[in-house]
Structure 1
Amino acid sequence: MLILRKKFFRQTASMSVAPLLYLIAFGLGMGQGVSIGGHTYMEFLIPGLVAMSSMTQAFAIAGEINIARFYWRIFEEFQAAPIRNIAYVTGEVLAGMTRALLSVGVILLIGLISGVVLHYGAFFWVAVLLNSFVFSSLAVCLAMLVASHADQALLTNFFITPMAFLGGTFFPVDRMPPWAQSVLNFLPLTHAAHAIRGSAFQQPAEPYPYLLLAGIGTVLFVLAFWCVNRAKE
C-alpha cells in the first residue's frame, strides 16, 4: 500500500488506457445497435472488461516478483529475513488482488461516465475477489518456477492474453460452436465473467462458478506456497 500510494496516479492512468480503447473500439464502434440478451453491448462489455482487467492486473504481480528476484535480488532478503513463507505468499497475493480491485474501480468509473448503470452488489464483488485471488495465486506460483523475466512474458503471451479475449469477455460463449464451448469452459475466466456479468444483470446467483473459482484459487494458493518453499536462488 505504501508503494501504491506513491505511484497511485501513474497506476490508475495506465490501467485506464486499455479499457478506454476497448470501450471505444468494441462498445462505441462495433457495438452500436447490438443487443445481447436484452442488454446493450456496452452493458454486456463492462462486466467482461471487469473480469478481464481483474485477471490481467492480478497476474501482473508476477512481473514485479520477477524483477524483485532477478534484478533487485529482493527475494533473497525475504528468504534471509524472519518472515514466514506463508506471510510472503499471502502478501503477494493480496498485492495482486489490490491491483485488480483498483483496475475494476477504474473500469466502473469509465462505465458510469459512459452512461452504463449496472448492479454492483455483494455477489459481483465476491466474483471479482475470487477471480483476482485465482490469478494472483497463479502469478506467485509461476513466478517461482520461471528461470527468467522473458519466460514470464512468454507465459503471459501464450496463456493470459488468449484467455483475456476468449473467456467470454467480448462475446457470449454460448454463441460459439459446441466444441469451442467445451474448450472455453475449462478457462477460469469464462466462469468468472459469467458470474460477474450475471450479478451485474441482477440474475439469480449460481453457486457453481463461485465454488469452482474458490476451489481453483485455494489449490493455486497452496501450490504457490509450495513453490516458494522450493524456490532457490
Structure 2
Amino acid sequence: MDSYTVFWREMLVFKRTFWKFLASRLVSPILYLVAFGWGLGRSIVTSGGSYLDFAVPGIIALSAMTVSFNAVGVSLNMSRLYHKTLEEYLLAPISPFSFTLGKVLAGMVRGIVGSLIILVLAYLFGAYFELGFWVFAVIFLTCALFAALGVVAAMTVSSHEDMSNFSTFVILPMAFLCGTFFRTEKLPGVIADVIYILPLTHASYSLRSLATGEGLPLISFLVLCGYLILFFTVAVRVIRRV
C-alpha cells in the first residue's frame, strides 16, 4: 500500500506533464526511424529482412532504458539535492522497499509508454515486428531494471553534474554499443565479451529474437532478471542507508 502511495503521486505528476512527455518522446523515434528506415536502411539488407526490421527492436530496448532511467534518476536526483522533497518520504512511515518499488513502477510506466510509441511509429514506417506476451515481458523487465538503476544513481551521486556524468559514462555507451544498431559479434573479441555482459545487450538480443519469431533466448531473459534483482536490492539498501 505504501508503494502505491509513492506510485500514485508520480502518476499525478505524469498526468500533468503527459502531453509534453508524449511530444518529447516522438522526436527521437521519428529521427531514428527516418535515418534507419528511409535513409541508411534503404542501402542495407540484413538476413531475414530490412535493416529497419533489424533496428526497431534495438531502438525499443534503447528507449526503454533511457526513458525509465531518466524518469526516475533525474527527478529523484533533483528532489534529493535541490527541491528537498525527498525528506518528505524519509519522514513518512514508508519502508525503503515500498519507496523503491513505487519509484520503479512509475519509471516503468513512462518507459512502457515510450516503447509503445516506437512500436506504433515503426508499424507506420513499415517495419515488421512479431508481438506477443514475451515481447512485452522483456520490455517490462528492461524498464524495471533501468528504473531501479536510476534510483541507485540518483541516491549515490553528489551533484546534478555527476548525474549527467553517470549518464555519459554508463548509459550513453550502452545506447550505441549494446547491439542497438549492429550485431555485437562484429566487435573485436574482448570488447564483444565486455559488451555481452551489459543488460541492454540482452534486452536488444531478446527483442530482436522475438521479433523475428526465433523465440525467447532463455539465458538473456535470466540475465535481465538477475540485473533487476541486483539493481533493486542495491537501490533498497541505498535508500535504507539514507
Scaled to the shorter chain, the TM-score interval is: over 0.9
SS of residue paired to 2:42: coil
State the TM-score, normalizing by the size of structure 2. 0.92
Deviation at 1:99, TM superposition (A): 1.0
Shift, 1:204, TM fit: 2.3
Q: In the alignment, what sits opposite 1:131?
A: 142
* Fraction of identical pairs, as percent: 35
Unmatched 5+ residue regions in structure 2?
1-10
| Aligned residue pair count | 231
Q: Deviations over 1:160-201 (max 9, x none)?
A: 011101110011112222222112102110011000111111
| AA partner of residue 205 (structure 2) | H
Structure 2 equivalent of residue 113 of structure 1 = 124
Give runs of aligned pairs for residues 14-93 of structure 1, distance below 5 A.
Answer: 14-60=24-70, 61-93=72-104
Q: Does the 8 Å contact 2:178/2:195 carry over to 1?
A: yes
Structure with greater helix share of residues: 2
Q: TM-score, normalised by structure 1?
A: 0.96
Name the residue aligned to 1:213. 224
Select the residue among 146, 160, 173 that pairs with 2:184: 173
Residue number among 171, 174, 195 corresponding to 1:184 in the alignment:
195
What letter matches 1:92 in structure 2?
Answer: K
| In 2: Cα distance, 1:29 partner to 1:117 partner | 17
Once the two structures are superposed, residues 190-227 of structure 1 have per-residue CA deviations (whole angstroms, 9 ceiling, x without a partner) of 01100011111111222101111101110110100000
RMSD: 1.1
Question: 1:8: which partner in 2?
Answer: 18
Q: Does the 8 Å contact 1:33/1:40 carry over to 2? A: no
Displacement over 4 Å in runs of 4+:
none
The 5-angstrom pairing of residues 93-104 of structure 1 reads 93-104=104-115
**8 Å CA contact 1:20, 1:110 repeated in 2:** yes
3-state SS of the aligned residue for 1:71? helix
